[in-house]
């Protein structure tokens, strides 16, 4: 479980094991680790039946990218 303690809730997306993304195609398995502008997660591609690294950008990184 991703804790929001000591984090601005607008920066990091609260993500939990077993969460699904991209219309349920990717299932979160385990947190790989935080980065300065993202969090990397081990996820499973349900359709392809393989493991992938899933990167979730912070809202700050998304805003900065849109401003460029």
Contact 2, 12 (CB under 8 A): yes
Question: Considering the domain boundaries, does residue 15 fall inside one?
Answer: no
Nearest in space to 55 (alpha carbons), one of 37, 14, 67, 45: 37
The residue range of the domain holding 31 is: 20-67
Question: Considering the domain boundaries, does residue 32 fall inside one?
Answer: yes
Q: Which residue has the higher pLDDT, 27 or 56?
A: 27
Q: How many domains does the chain have?
A: 1
Question: Considering the domain boundaries, does residue 57 fall inside one?
Answer: yes
Task: Look at residue 68 and tell me whether its pLDDT is greater than 90.
Answer: no
Task: Look at residue 48 and tell me whether its pLDDT is greater than 80.
Answer: yes
38: domain CATH number? 3.30.200.20
Question: Considering the domain boundaries, does residue 60 fall inside one?
Answer: yes
Residue 61 vs residues 34, 35, 49, 67: alpha-carbon distances, Å: 13, 11, 30, 10
Q: 12: which DSSP letter?
A: S
């Amino acid at each position: 479980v991703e804790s929001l303690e000591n984090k601005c809730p607008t920066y990091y997306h609260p993500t939990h094991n077993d969460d699904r993304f991209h219309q349920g195609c990717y299932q979160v398995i385990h947190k790989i680790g935080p980065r300065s502008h993202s969090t990397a997660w081990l996820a499973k591609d349900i359709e392809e039946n393989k493991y992938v690294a899933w990167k979730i950008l912070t809202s700050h990184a998304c805003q900065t990218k849109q401003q460029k």
